[in-house]
Amino acid sequence: MSDQLPSTDAYLGVTASWTSWTPDGKIVYVSNASGNFDIWVMNGDGSDKTQLTFDPSDDFSPAMTPDSRYIVFASDRAGTSSSMELWRMDADGGHPKQLSDRIEDLGPQCSPDSRWVVYGTVISGKAALWRVSIDGGNPVQLTHKESDSPVVSPDGKWIACRYWNEQSDSPKHIAVIPFEGGEPIKVFENPQSGFPQRIRWRPDGRAITYVDTRGGVSNIWSQPIDGGPARRLTDFKDQLIFAHDWSPDGKQFACARGVLVSTVVLITDSK
């Protein structure tokens, strides 16, 4: 397996985050171009940008089922006391359906057979992984130790996630657990900067990639499943990476990069 990124390097010209490839080579993403955080889709070359959601609430974390039938996402549109809920909609944005009534981790992911959605949520202050049917119903808890940001392996047998190991001096790791849940079968040490972000499986299933930020600069790293040290795949010199994903054939790679902008306002007493 090569640890080099595909040579394709194109700027797609969108303000985007939560980037996810579709099975037919398009990119689903979140953008506030409309003045609201909505879900959009575009071709792999950045053309034909189409807005899919128009609800006044915010929508995040889109992921399309491998059968291309649905897009799963997180939204606060239900108006409940929960910060976010899990939803699905048709690939064209129609027929939204609520799947869960609580979600704290904005990273739902679909199983390869398109039957299940895995996600993270926080109950009583503790993060854990859960699974729910693509048709909704009662969710099933998969982990009881603190974990979040799940992604399902290409063969559907495993889930990679961020994992807190209370027995370690460096408690934040990447773990691989069985798809049915339970204890990790592999735990990889945390990167030097502290916490891996935005985990993804490589399409061949032989490595996990993640965002690692050091000195205010993000790059993509790859952790082989069979062991060995993690390797840096990109060599960016500036900006942060907010999301990344592989095309289904592994020949292209998309990531959302940028800077965080904050405004300081000085208020004085005018009297």
* Residue-wise DSSP of 101-123: S---SS--EE-TTSSEEEEEEEE
pTM tops 0.75? yes
How would you list the strands of the sheet with 17-21, edge to edge?
Answer: 17-21, 27-31, 38-42, 50-51
270: CB partners within 8 A, 6+ apart: none
For residues 235 and 244, give the distance between their C-alpha atoms in angstroms, rounded to a whole number: 15
- Over residues 181-199, the pLDDT tens digits come to 999 999 987 655 555 677 8
- Nearest 10 degrees: CA dihedral of 75, 78, 84, 87? -50
- Residues of the chain predicted below pLDDT 70: 1-17, 80-82, 105-106, 167-171, 190-196, 261-266, 268-271
Q: How far apart are CA 117 and CA 135, in angstroms?
A: 10
For 1-45, write each residue's pLDDT tens digit. 444 444 334 444 444 557 889 999 999 999 988 888 999 999 988
Indicate the helix (H) or strand (E) that contains 41. Answer: strand 38-42
Tokens of 79: 């108006």
Task: Classify residue 268 by burial, with Cβ atoms within 10 Å: 0-12, 13-18, 19+.
Answer: exposed
Task: Set out the domains of the chain in order of their start, with CATH numbers.
Answer: 17-258 (2.120.10.30)
